[in-house]
Amino acid sequence: MTRCTEMTELINKIKIIRHGYPNATRIYQFLLALPITVATNERCFSKLKLIKNKLRSTLMPDKMEWLMISSAEKDLLENADLSSFAEEWSHLKNRRVKLV
């Protein structure tokens, strides 16, 4: 097989050889499906380390999960309307303590 400089070339060559070399085709398809880097996973673990260091003893597992999701999806949360979140949260449960 000649050298491919782009992914589209490789995919086209796989289509050509798939009938003659079915096992090689499967291997190429598997390799194309592998992630290129593990940077996303490493980023999540470093965020976990930061969160656990700051709130080590007081963090429940469900809170940890929400903090991890919030940290990983920071770009989505930056564009979100926080006032609508606060309004919805305020209607969920009456949290006021009655003073007698």
pLDDT in tens, 13-27: 778 877 888 888 888
C-alpha 48/C-alpha 40 separation (Å) is: 12
- E strands of 48-92, at which residues? none
Tell me the pTM.
0.35
Query: CA 15, CA 22: separation in Å to the nearest integer?
Result: 10
Domains of the chain: which residue ranges?
1-34, 39-90
Reply yes or no on whether the pLDDT at 88 is more than 80.
yes
Give pLDDT, residue 39: 66
List strand residue ranges (DSSP E) for 10-88, in order.
none
